[in-house]
Amino acid sequence: METSAGSTLPADEVERITTDMIAALKTVYDPEIPVDIYELGLIYKVDLDDDRNVSIDMTLTAPGCPVAGEMPGWVENAVRGVEGIQDVRVNMVFDPPWNADMMSEEAQVALNWW
Q: 111 pLDDT band (50/70/90 cuts)?
A: confident
Q: pLDDT per residue over 16-40, tens digit each?
A: 999 999 999 999 998 888 899 999 9
**Whether pLDDT at 96 is above 70:** yes
pTM of the model: 0.88
Task: Give dist(CA 114, CA 108) in Å, integer.
Answer: 6
Task: Give dist(CA 95, CA 31) in Å, integer.
Answer: 22
What does pLDDT average to over the chain? 91
